[in-house]
């Protein structure tokens, strides 16, 4: 009995004593996300100093353009330019002094067949190696893109997009040409040069073909360009067709069919068979874009009086309106992440700008503003972390890439007049 009372007293006492649970506690949330400061040390060269310098510049430009990194100005570097790759030989304090958190180093070697690089990624504060790889590439630019892809993959766990391509249509004096750029706007290759109109390329998901709208036959029709043999063949739909878009699994094509003054969204097999009409309204229905899972389509319709974005299932069921702001919304492009649809809209000042609407909740975000009179035709990078579009901010429309919030934009090209860009898929690994 007494023992029990003693125990009870002890319990009461211990409860009265300040315990760890009494420590005041606060929550800090909503961090500010900022680009990670990285230093890209001038790459060491074995044989070809020029290639090493070029690869260094490519890596710096790629990382900065991605919006994920703050690439530090090499002019401020304090380290010895000949510093080696091994952590033991690196004076990390000198890199910390310039504000670097990550450090990219490489030794570029020229071999009998192309180049290779020993890449080292280091954590400056801890003074340790994060990544060591030997990467091959055919040329110095390709090597730079490979290194940048590896760095992005290390930090984000996702594949980088620096070795992808962007297709676009370029105006020529007497027609149009189909051009493919590297993802940094360099290395333009003309695939086709036509006297007739060419429009709206779309990549087959494996990157082997491009679907293009061509007026070669007099009216708008879908044509397929194949890279392997440079062939250009019509998709026999038997009707006026434009703006073809390959489904994510490559099995279907969605397009806008034109009949008189009406347009509707249809799908068919890549050979033109198995056609199916998805919209039937007498209003204009056009510009289909697949969801990443291939189960839904975004499109434009003016059935409510003004062009607005709509979504529907891939069989045409459950059509619902997505945008309620603005009076001229067009060219929807579904993000590969699935959460956003980027589009072009004309605002109340009658300028065209880029926007993105969230599938969940329909909130509209603006990407461009007061940057030329026309920013249009968005196309997502395959990782959904960047979007390409054309902008006339510097004169004739050029290719621009941006992060999905429009905070970091880079003009990639500086010649000709470009339109309807299409960002290609990731290369096979």
Site string for another protein, 364-383 (x = CB under 8 A): xxxxxxxx------------
Q: How far is the CB of 142 from another protein (least distance, A)?
A: 12
Q: Is 247 in the site for another protein (CB under 8 A)?
A: no
Q: Which is nearer to another protein, 9 or 369 (CB)?
A: 369
Give the Cα-Cα-Cα angle 32, 144, 170 (nearest 5 degrees): 90
What's the CA gap between 340 and 378, in Å, rounded?
12
Which span sits near another protein by CB under 8 A: 66-74, 114-122, 279-287, 296-304? 66-74
Handedness of CA 232, 237, 242, 248 (dihedral sign): negative
Phi, psi of 274 (to 5 degrees): 60, 40
Q: Is 361 in the site for another protein (CB under 8 A)?
A: no
Confirm if 13 and 7 have CB atoms less than 8 A apart: no
The residues pairing with 234 across neighbouring beta strands, listed in sequence order, are: 223
Choose which of 4, 15, 29, 261 interacts with another protein (CB under 8 A).
Answer: 29
Which secondary structure element, helix H or strand E, spans residue 103, and what is its range? Answer: strand 102-110
What's the CA gap between 227 and 232, in Å, rounded?
9
Confirm if 224 and 270 have CB atoms less than 8 A apart: yes
Radius of gyration of the chain (CA): 27
Q: How far is the CB of 189 from another protein (least distance, A)?
A: 8
Q: How far is the CB of 143 from another protein (least distance, A)?
A: 13
Choose which of 9, 10, 158, 217 interacts with another protein (CB under 8 A).
Answer: 158
What's the CA gap between 211 and 165, in Å, rounded?
15
Q: Is 345 in the site for another protein (CB under 8 A)?
A: yes
Q: Is 275 in the site for another protein (CB under 8 A)?
A: no
Q: Which is nearer to another protein, 333 or 368 (CB)?
A: 368
Q: Which is nearer to another protein, 63 or 210 (CB)?
A: 63
Choose which of 2, 3, 13, 23 interacts with another protein (CB under 8 A).
Answer: 23
Choose which of 27, 88, 112, 428 interacts with another protein (CB under 8 A).
Answer: 27
Q: Is 360 in the site for another protein (CB under 8 A)?
A: no
Which span sits near another protein by CB under 8 A: 185-193, 204-212, 241-249, 287-295? 185-193
With 0-12 / 13-18 / 19 or more C-beta atoms within 10 angstroms meaning exposed / middle / buried, residue 250 is middle
Q: Is 52 in the site for another protein (CB under 8 A)?
A: no
What's the CA gap between 356 and 360, in Å, rounded?
12
Give the Cα-Cα-Cα angle 168, 341, 401 (nearest 5 degrees): 40
Q: Is 57 in the site for another protein (CB under 8 A)?
A: yes
- b/e 301-317 (16+ beta carbons within 10 angstroms → b): bbbeeebbbbbbebebe
Q: How far is the CB of 368 from another protein (least distance, A)?
A: 7
Which residues ranging from 188 to 227 are in contact with another protein (CB under 8 A)?
A: 188
- b/e 104-139 (16+ beta carbons within 10 angstroms → b): bbbbbbbeeeebbbbbbbbbbeebebebeeebebee
Q: Is 324 in the site for another protein (CB under 8 A)?
A: yes
Which residues ranging from 282 to 321 are in contact with another protein (CB under 8 A)?
A: none
Q: Which is nearer to another protein, 216 or 393 (CB)?
A: 393
Which residues ranging from 381 to 400 are in contact with another protein (CB under 8 A)?
A: 393-394, 398, 400
Q: Is 163 in the site for another protein (CB under 8 A)?
A: no
Site size for another protein, by CB under 8 A?
Answer: 85
End-to-end CA distance of the chain: 77
Q: Is 355 in the site for another protein (CB under 8 A)?
A: yes
Which span sits near another protein by CB under 8 A: 248-256, 259-267, 294-302, 324-332? 324-332
Choose which of 7, 89, 125, 295 interacts with another protein (CB under 8 A).
Answer: 125
């Amino acid at each position: 009995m007494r023992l029990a009372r003693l125990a009870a007293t002890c319990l009461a006492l211990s409860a009265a004593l300040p315990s760890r649970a009494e420590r005041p506690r606060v929550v800090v949330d909503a961090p500010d996300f900022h680009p990670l400061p990285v230093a890209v040390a001038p790459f060491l060269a074995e044989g070809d100093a020029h290639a090493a310098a070029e690869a260094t510049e490519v890596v710096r430009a790629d990382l900065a353009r991605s919006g994920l990194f703050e690439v530090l100005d090499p002019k401020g570097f304090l380290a010895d330019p000949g510093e080696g790759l091994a952590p033991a030989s690196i004076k990390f304090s000198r890199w910390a002094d310039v504000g670097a958190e990550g450090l990219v180093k490489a030794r570029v070697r020229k071999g009998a067949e192309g180049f290779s690089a020993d890449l080292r990624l280091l954590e400056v504060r801890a003074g340790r190696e994060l990544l060591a790889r030997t990467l091959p590439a055919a040329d110095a630019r390709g090597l730079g893109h490979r290194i940048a892809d590896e760095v992005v993959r290390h930090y984000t766990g996702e594949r980088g997009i620096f070795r992808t391509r962007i297709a676009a249509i370029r105006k020529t004096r007497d027609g149009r040409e189909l051009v493919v750029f590297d993802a940094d706007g360099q290395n333009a290759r003309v695939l086709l040069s036509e006297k007739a109109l060419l429009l709206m390329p779309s990549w087959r998901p494996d990157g082997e073909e491009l679907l293009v709208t061509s007026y070669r036959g007099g009216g708008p029709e879908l044509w397929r360009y194949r890279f392997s043999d440079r062939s250009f063949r019509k998709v026999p739909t038997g009707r006026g067709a434009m703006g073809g878009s390959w489904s994510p699994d490559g099995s279907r094509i969605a397009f806008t069919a034109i009949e008189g003054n009406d347009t509707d969204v249809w799908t068919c097999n890549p050979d033109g068979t198995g056609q199916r009409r998805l919209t039937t309204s007498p209003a204009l229905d056009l510009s289909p874009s697949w969801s990443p899972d291939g189960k839904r389509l975004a499109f434009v319709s003016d059935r409510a009086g003004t062009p607005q974005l709509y979504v529907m299932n891939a069989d045409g069921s459950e059509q619902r309106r997505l945008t309620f702001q603005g009076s001229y919304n067009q060219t929807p492009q579904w993000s590969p992440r699935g959460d956003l649809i980027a589009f072009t809209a004309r605002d109340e000042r009658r300028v065209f700008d880029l926007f993105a609407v969230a599938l969940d909740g329909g909130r509209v975000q603006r990407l461009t503003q007061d940057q030329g009179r026309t920013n249009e035709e968005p196309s997502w990078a395959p990782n959904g972390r960047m979007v390409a579009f054309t902008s006339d901010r510097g004169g004739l429309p050029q290719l621009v890439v941006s992060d999905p919030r429009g905070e970091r934009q880079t003009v990639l090209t500086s010649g000709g007049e470009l339109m309807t860009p299409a960002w290609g898929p990731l290369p096979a690994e």
